[in-house]
Amino acid sequence: MVKPYVGGAFGNKQDMFYEPLAALFTLRLGGRCVAFVMSREETFVNSRTRHAMDIWAAACVDDTGRITQKGIRLNAYSGAYGSNGHAVAAYAVTNYFQLYPALGKQVGESATVYTNMPSAGAMRGYGIPQVAFAMECQMDDLALRYHLDPVEFRKKNMMGLHFLDPFDRFLCASNGLERCIDRGCELVDWQAKRQAYDAFNHTSSNLKKGLGMAVFAYKTGVYPIQLETASCRMLLNDDGSLQIQVCATELGQGSDTVFAQIASEITTIPEENVYVVSCQDTDVSPHDAGAYASRQTYVSGSAVKQTAEILRKKILNRAACLYEADSKDLALDGGRITGRDGAVLGTVRDVAVRMQYTNSTKINSEHLTAESTYTMRHNAFAFGASFVDLEVDVPIGKIKINRVIAIHDSGQILNPALARAQVHGGVAMGIGYALTEQMLFDPETGKMRNDNLLDYKIPTAMDIPQIDVEFVETYEPSAPFGNKALGEPPMIPQAPAIRNAVLHATGVAVYELPLTPERLIHAFIQAGLIQPLSCEHIAET
């Protein structure tokens, strides 16, 4: 398999679709190239989608505001094939007991159902956006019922540092969730604005303003459910540049850039002289388990770091031979070899050239390379909170989002520009998930009704509000440089934060996504906020 430089995947490329057919046909045609090209309509129904889920959840709260017992039942609709079916459902149901662990009994059930609909598979968040919507709606509902502030209620019940995951049996070794919440409250002026909106909504019947929030916890990688492993190969060229081979797939998330940063940090070779080979070939490239679960910098980055450390040690050992010094007295600094007193003895390029072409009887020539496999035997929770400021035009059921504040604990941020871009993209995807994106089917024929990008509404640049992004940096000891997941988390809390802001604005609780005008109007009519029009009124209008 030769991997070209491709665009985003968001989980869809975990499955094989037409690759086996392409392999079969190219063999039948004597090795000629074969391409399968789907139309837009075929892309909607013949690839993978997110699992639709029905979720029932219940919880008991004591007089101190602590959750004492909780239970969940979850049905996931897998479509015609299994794909990542029950793994997604299981991932979702366990998250319900991780973010807000109850003091007492916790009961959960999940089932995956085959239907004659398009098949669901891995998609950004892997079941957590669905359960997070249910869970975070439940938290706001409970806070409202018991007259508690949603923020304080969450703080009282959420996972803390050193939490032991009851399913995967690993400790939460870094947790900045409370700091994320506090920073979000500070930026949005939570208490004052909530009170101001309450006063405004008391006098305004058609336009309502709301401020909502939601939080999340998301694991980095899938250990110990399956093996988490990655390999890396490095070659030091005789011009002092570094060539890196990893089969970890660059899908636009910036992993190649971060791998170059990691290698540069360890070897001190400047980043402009570090080259990651993007077009990998499984015939010659070292193995990697894949771009999934937001694990690439965490797992594959660990392989890059480990391999760079091996290469660094080789460089210093060979430099010690060349300069007749003890390797313990040598150091690397900006691609230069320095001695105990800091004096520059030479450069990495000098060592590479001399080792490759030396004809000494004391030292054998050697092309300096390193290769290693890293097996990750840990996991880590990434955390975050989103705050949404919005307006609801009640008579027409229209939501206008004015501002989203996204605060993330993804450990140490290795590349701030890439990290902010990930959050912006995730927020945009979360807004689409919350407000507009839904596959509609004819109940008589089963044909998809909106299998095009005119009728299937994806947010455009005109629909995206102001997004403020900040990071609360913690240090995750199991990671190569203290980092944690960031690829999938940004989209997870957006839908419940929007829903909770609508609840604050209107007092109406909605339990189904997306929050379309039609769905909101029906909910507002049931709640008595607006009156349904009579046939006579419509005729007069």
pLDDT higher at 159 or 11: 159
Please list the residue range(s) of the chain that carry CATH number 3.30.365.10.
52-220+379-527, 229-375
Confidence of residue 361 (pLDDT cuts 50, 70, 90): low
pLDDT digits (tens, 9 = 90+) for 375-422: 999 999 999 999 999 999 999 999 999 999 999 999 999 999 999 999
Per-residue model confidence (pLDDT) at position 362:
77
Confidence of residue 538 (pLDDT cuts 50, 70, 90): low
Name the CATH topology of 229-375. Answer: Aldehyde Oxidoreductase; domain 4 (3.30.365)
Average of per-residue pLDDT across 413-435: 97
In whole angstroms, give the CA distance from residue 132 to residue 488: 13
Average of per-residue pLDDT across 49-53: 94
Collapse the DSSP code of 335 into the 3-class scheme (helix H, G, I; strand E, B; otherwise coil) and give the result.
coil
In whole angstroms, give the CA distance from residue 473 to residue 486: 12
Given strand 106-114, what is the order of strands in its sheet?
A: 52-61, 67-79, 106-114
In whole angstroms, give the CA distance from residue 185 to residue 439: 35
Element at 191 (helix H, strand E): helix 190-203
Confidence of residue 465 (pLDDT cuts 50, 70, 90): very high
Mean pLDDT, rounded, of the chain:
93
pLDDT at 17 over 70: yes
Query: pTM score > 0.75 for this model?
Result: yes
What does the block give as tokens for 263? 């290698």
Per-residue model confidence (pLDDT) at position 1:
82
Q: What is the DSSP letter of 477?
A: T
What does the block give as tokens for 282? 């499984």
Query: What distances in angstroms separate CA 250 from CA 245, 279, 291, 458, 483, one per listed residue?
Result: 12, 9, 8, 24, 18
- Could you give the angle at which helices 128-145 and 494-506 cross, rounded to 10 degrees? 30
Query: What distances in angstroms separate CA 279 from CA 234, 237, 257, 401, one per listed residue?
Result: 15, 19, 14, 40
pLDDT digits (tens, 9 = 90+) for 292-315: 889 999 999 999 999 999 999 999
pLDDT at 2 over 70: yes
Given strand 466-471, what is the order of strands in its sheet?
A: 207-219, 381-393, 398-409, 466-471
Report residue 436 CA to chain centroid gap.
Answer: 21
pLDDT digits (tens, 9 = 90+) for 79-123: 998 888 889 999 999 999 999 999 999 999 999 999 989 999 999
pLDDT digits (tens, 9 = 90+) for 310-355: 999 999 999 999 998 999 999 999 999 999 888 999 999 999 999 9
Taking alpha carbons only, the member of 207, 9, 24 closest to residue 121 is: 9
Per-residue model confidence (pLDDT) at position 535:
61
Per-residue model confidence (pLDDT) at position 370:
97
Collapse the DSSP code of 10 into the 3-class scheme (helix H, G, I; strand E, B; otherwise coil) and give the result.
coil
Average of per-residue pLDDT across 270-281: 91
- CB-based contacts of 89, cutoff 8 Å, min separation 6: 51, 53, 74, 76, 110, 111, 112, 127
pLDDT at 487 over 90: yes
Q: For domain 52-220+379-527, say whether CATH 3.30.365.10 is its number.
A: yes
